[in-house]
Structure 1
Amino acid sequence: MGFNLKEIFTSFMVLFAVIDIVGSVPIIIDLRKKVGHIQSEKASVIAGVIMILFLFLGQSLLTIIGIDVNSFAVAGSFVLFFIALEMILGITLYKDNGGEEGTTSVFPLAFPLIAGPGSLTTLLSLRSEFRIENIIVGVLLNVILIYVVLKTSSKIERLIGAGGINVVRKVFGVILLAISVKLFTANIKALF
């Protein structure tokens, strides 16, 4: 085991930027309003498990089912695009099917918002540069931070207020839209 603080810090920061959990607070608050309760522990753990599993099995899994990383990223960009449209236009595209209470903690929160195409493709590129144990520590640090943000989202909402949340929601909706477009354009070229 070769733990390297620089690799851990870089992995953490790159994933933190891609996951953008702080920027997702308006989406989290919006989801909580739609479905009531979000299971912070469940969402954090599932997102962490998805990311770590994808770190080990991602490339092989995509190869087995005949999907390349670029196609995966393009598909994910569409999901992010529609979530962004909901935020900007104030419309509802995602409807809760009324299943069990924790469904929203998994979709769209743990996947694709937290452990989405951006973070999963980032993990594959980090793996080509860094040792796997350092990336895992970076993922785990992000999972802890994700849990803290999910747990305190209602306090953040009270601090900013309803009007503030609405403004932040629209601003981050545009940012998420830009990320989805960037993810789409960066990967669509490789497909043709």
Structure 2
Amino acid sequence: MNALFVSAFITLFVVIDPLGCAPIYASLTNGASGPQRRAMAIRAVGIAAVILLVFALWGKQLLGTLGIALSSFRIAGGIMLFMIAMDMVFEKRTQRREDRAQKIAETPEVEDVSVFPMAMPMIAGPGSIATVMLLMSRADGMMERAVVLGAVTLTLALMLASLLAAGPLMALLGSKIEAVITRLLGVLLSALAAQFVIDGLKASF
């Protein structure tokens, strides 16, 4: 169980990327008051939690309705995670997030960023939804499913803490340290993504 929790937590932490979302949130909420920033952070994580929970509990049934085999989803999800990992290693993911944040910041009528872009697609995006479904599909029994949900809860708790401490956290880490951490996590995610693909191929053949 410990190994499953650690594997699920690392995968989710890398994909959801609390440290990577913190500077984006800090820039989007620049000029907002402290209570406003806290309220938006709590709302963003809460909405993302509901979205991920829905796909974690009923994603398998959704795939069945669409006639998609779990093995096929594992392969597709693994490929998607590998692409995210490559973007992290070469810093393309960070650049896209910054570009998206800049577009939102340049739109004066947008004030509440909790739903878009924070809850979706930054926290509960295609990568994190696919990851949650993949992890739940590999869980055997209620206990292992509860372990995966525990890893999701911990990751989202760290995301909330990261958003609440976005300003001081960025001042502490600095852009260079953040880039190093992002690249290291990208390498780790690429290995986990390859394992998802291997599992899917084994199940298919």
TM-score calculated relative to the size of structure 2: 0.66
Deviations 1:22-66 (A, max 9, x none): 982453246558x73595334422332133223432222111111
* Residue aligned with 2:121, SS: helix
Contact kept, 8 Å, 2:86 with 2:186, in 1: the verdict is yes
Find the counterpart in structure 2 of residue 163 from structure 1.
176
Which of 106, 115, 121 is matched with 1:107 structurally?
Answer: 121
Sequence identity of aligned pairs in percent?
21
Q: What's the offset of the Cα at 1:157?
A: 2.3
Q: Could you tell me which amino acid in structure 2 is paired with residue 189 of structure 1? A: K
1:19 aligns with 2:12: yes
Counterpart among 159, 163, 176 of residue 150 in structure 1? 163
Q: In the aligned structure 2, how far is the partner of 1:16 from the partner of 1:125?
A: 14
From 28, 31, 44, the equivalent of 1:36 is: 28
Give the equivalent residue in structure 1 for 2:193: 180
Distance 1:141 1:84, change over 3 A: closer
For residue 19 of structure 1, what is the amino acid of its counterpart? L
Q: How big is each residue's C-alpha offset from its partner over 1:80-139, in whole Å with a ceiling of 9 and x where there is no partner?
A: 2232222222335676495775433211421234x4333322234446242877876665
Q: Could you list the runs of 5+ residues in structure 1 that have no partner in the other structure?
A: 1-6
Q: 2:130, 2:187 → 1: CA distance?
A: 18
| Structure 1 residues 13 and 44, CA gap change in structure 2 (3 angstroms) | farther
Task: Please give the residue correspondences for 1:50-89 in structure 2 after superposition, counting only pairs within 5 Å.
Answer: 50-89=51-90
Which stretch shifts more, 55-64 or 133-142? 133-142
- CA-based RMSD of the aligned residues comes to 3.7
> 2:125 aligns to what SS in structure 1?
helix
Q: Using the alignment, how far apart are the partners of 2:15 and 2:75 within structure 1?
A: 24
Contact 1:44 1:146 in 2 (8 A): yes
Q: Are residues 131 and 187 of structure 1, via their aligned partners in 2, closer, same or farther at CA, if it must alter by over 3 Å?
A: closer
Cα distance change of structure 1 residues 26 and 179 upon mapping to structure 2, 3 Å threshold: farther
Amino acid aligned to 1:28: C
